[in-house]
Amino acid sequence: MGYYLGEGLRSIKNHAMMSFSAVCMIVGCLLIMGTFTLLAVNLEHMLGRLEAENEFLAYIDETYTTDQAKALESQVLAVENVSSAEFVTREQALEQYRQDRQDNELLSELPASALRDRFRIRVHEIGQMEDTVARVRAIDGVVNISAQVEVAQGFVLVRNIAGGVALVLVAVLLLVSIFIISNTVRLATFYRKEEIAIMKMCGATNAFVRWPFVVEGAVLGLNGSLLAFFLQWGIYQFVCSAVIQSNGLSLLTVIPYADMARQLLLTFLGTGFVIGVGGSLLAIRKFLQV
Amino acid sequence: MVRLIDVEMKYGNGTEALKGVNLRIDDGEFVFLVGASGSGKSTILKLITAEIAPTKGRLMVNGYNLNNIRPRQVPHMRRTLGVVFQDFRLIEKKTVKENLAFVMRAVGASKRETRRRLDYMLGLVELTDKGDCYPYQLSGGEQQRVAIARALMNNPSMIVADEPTGNLDPDRSKEIMTLLSRINDMGTTVLVVTHEKKLVDSMNKRVVAIRDGVIISDEMGGYYNEKD
Ligand SMILES: Nc1ncnc2c1ncn2[C@@H]1O[C@H](COP(=O)(O)OP(=O)(O)OP(=O)(O)O)[C@@H](O)[C@H]1O
Ligand SMILES: [Mg+2]
C-alpha cells in the first residue's frame, strides 16, 4: 500500500503543472455543479415553505344560506388535488378580519352580511394549483376565488428549470471531469509507457500496474473536491448575503450553508473520488494490453 | 522448457514472420538463436513471452500452454521467464536497487526477502558498489548486467535475451555472454538471440539458425555458416 501511494504521489509531482490544471478543472466543474445544485435545493426549500401555505379562498354566492353554502363542501373536496376544505362562515370571517385589523375603527361597524361565506382550500401539489382553482371556480355557487396562482406558478417554473439545468449540468460536467482526469492520467501513463511495458514483461499483474495511477487519480479528485467545497462555501455566503439584503418580499429565504455542509462535503468528496478513479481507469485501460 | 510445434506467425499487415517452426528447448539448455535481420528471431521470443499469439501451431512455455492461457495467468507465466533486451530497458528514474526491487514487489515478495535477493544478485553481476547509481551513470555493459540481474530477481527457470550484446563493444559482449553461461551453469535455461559470429563460435553451445521464418539448422558445437 505504501508503495502504491508513493508511486502515485511521485507521478503527481512529476507532472506538477498537469496535475495542477487537472485539479483546477475539477474544482471548476464541481463549483458549477454545486452552485446549480444549491440553487435547486434552495428553490425547492422555498417552494416547500410556500406549499405549507398552499391555500386559496373560494367565496360562495351571498344569496346562499349558510347551510346551502356548507353543503358545497363535498363538491369542493371531490375536486382533484384538493387536500382539505375548511368552511368559514361570514361571521367567522368578519371576526378574523377584525382581529387582524384591531386598530381600524371603521371595520368594527362592518356588518357580517358585507362579507361572503367561504372555503379555505388546501391543495396537495402547488404545481397544479391553477387547474384546481379553475375546477373549484366551476362549481355552482362559487362566485369568486382569491389565490396567488402566479407566484406559485413562477416558483414552480423556476424550480423546474433550475432542477433540470442542474441535472443536465451535473451529468455533462461529470463526463467532462472524468475526461480531464483521464487525459491527465493518460499523459502520465504515456510518460511511463516504457515503465509499464517493463513491469508487465517482468510478470507484474494489471492490478499492480494500475494501483499507482488509481491512487494518483483519487488524490487529484479528492484534493479538487476539498478545494471546491471551501470555495463553494465562500461563494454561497457571498450570494446569500446579497439575496437577503435585496430581499424586499420575505418570500426569499436561504438555507444556511452549515446545514448542508456535511452532505455537500460528502457529495463533493464522493464525486471527486469517482471522477478521479474513473478517469484513471479509463486512461490506463489500453496501456495494460501488453 | 519451450516447445514450438508447427508454429506460424502472420502479423496484422500480412507479413509472414514464421512459416512452420518446430523448436524444443529443454530445461538447463543454453541455446543461441541466429539468423539474418528480419528472419523472425524476435518474433519467436515475443511468442515465448506471450507478447503476441501464434496464428497457427502449438506453443508451450515452462508448463504453460500458451494456446489457451487465460489472461490472468500470463503474469504468472512471465515470472518463470527473465527477459533481457538489446536496449537494457531500465527505468530511468529509479536507481539500480529500485530497478531490481520493484520486480520482486510486483510479485508480492516481502521487504526482507527482496533485500536479501538484491544483495545476492548485485554480487553475482559484480555491481555491489553501484546499487545507488541511476542507469545513466552506468556504462552500457554495466546497464546490461543490471538488466540481467533484474531478469534473474524472481529466480526464473529460463532467461530469454534478444541481442543482449547488440549495443556493446566486443570485450563487454564477451563479459555478458560469459555471465549468461555462468547463470546457465547454475541451472537456468538460456535462450540468446545474437549476431556475434565469433562469440557464438567460441562458446561451443547449441545453435539454432533461422532464415525467412524457417529453421534451417540446429546443431551442437556452435558454428555459424550463414552469410548475412
Ligand atoms: N509488429 C509487427 N508488425 C508487422 N510485421 C512485423 C512486426 N514485427 C516484425 N515484423 C516483421 O516480421 C519479420 C520478422 O521480424 P523479427 O523482428 O522477428 O526479425 P528479427 O529476426 O528479430 O530481425 P532483427 O535481427 O533485425 O531483429 C520481419 O519481416 C518484420 O518486418
Ligand atoms: Mg530482432
Burial string for A87-103 (b: 16+ CB within 10 Å, else e) reads bbbbeebbeebeeeeee
Please identify every residue whose CB atom is under 5 Å from ligand 2, which is an ion. Answer: B 42
Residue type present at position B129: D
CA distance B205 to A98: 118
Contact A202 B78 (CB under 8 A): yes
Q: What is the pLDDT of residue A173?
A: 78
Pair A59, A122: CB distance under 8 Å: no
Half-sphere exposure of A201 (CA within 13 A, CB side): 27
Domains in chain B, CATH or no CATH each: 1-80+156-222 (3.40.50.300), 92-155 (no CATH)
Residue B18 CA to its chain's centroid (Å): 19
Strand partners, B189: B158
Contact A290 B51 (CB under 8 A): yes
| Closest approach of A182 to chain B, Cα-based (Å) | 23
Residue B17 CA to its chain's centroid (Å): 19
Contact B150 A195 (CB under 8 A): no
Nearest to B136 by CA among B90, B84, B85, B99: B90
Digit-by-digit pLDDT tens for chain B (228 residues) are 999 999 999 999 999 999 999 999 999 999 999 999 999 999 999 999 999 999 999 999 999 999 999 999 999 999 999 999 999 999 888 899 999 998 888 888 888 999 999 999 999 999 999 999 999 999 999 999 999 999 999 899 999 999 999 999 999 999 999 999 999 999 999 999 998 888 898 888 999 999 999 999 998 876 555 444
Domains in chain A, CATH or no CATH each: 2-50+154-288 (no CATH), 55-147 (3.30.70.3040)
CA distance A244 to A253: 8
Residue of B nearest to A2 (CA): B105
The verdict on the CB of residue B40 being under 6 Å from ligand 1 is: yes
Interface list for B 105-134 with A (CB within 8 A): 105-107
Other CB atoms within a 10 A radius of the CB of residue B111 amount to: 10
Q: What is the pLDDT of residue B54?
A: 96
Q: How far is the CA of B4 from the centre of ligand 1 (A)?
A: 18
pLDDT less than 50: residues of chain A = none
**What value does the mean pLDDT of chain A take?**
80
Strand partners, A122: A55, A84
Strand partners, A123: A82
pLDDT, tens digit (0-9, with 9 covering 90-100), for A166-218: 788 778 877 887 787 777 777 777 777 887 888 888 888 888 888 888 888 88
Q: What is the pLDDT of residue B227?
A: 45
Pair A189, A196: CB distance under 8 Å: yes
Q: What is the pLDDT of residue A248?
A: 58
Interface list for B 162-221 with A (CB within 8 A): none
Residue nearest to atom 29 of ligand 1 (CA): B38
CA distance B166 to A181: 40
Q: What is the pLDDT of residue B87?
A: 92
Contact A201 B103 (CB under 8 A): no
Predicted ipTM > 0.90: no
Three cell numbers written together for A274: 469517482
Residue nearest to atom 14 of ligand 1 (CA): B40
Strand partners, B81: B158
Pocket test for ligand 1, best of B39, B160, B194 (most atoms within 8 A of CB): B39
Q: What pTM was computed for the model?
A: 0.70
The verdict on the CB of residue B11 being under 6 Å from ligand 1 is: yes
Q: Give B-chain residues touching A208 at CB under 8 angstroms.
A: 105-106
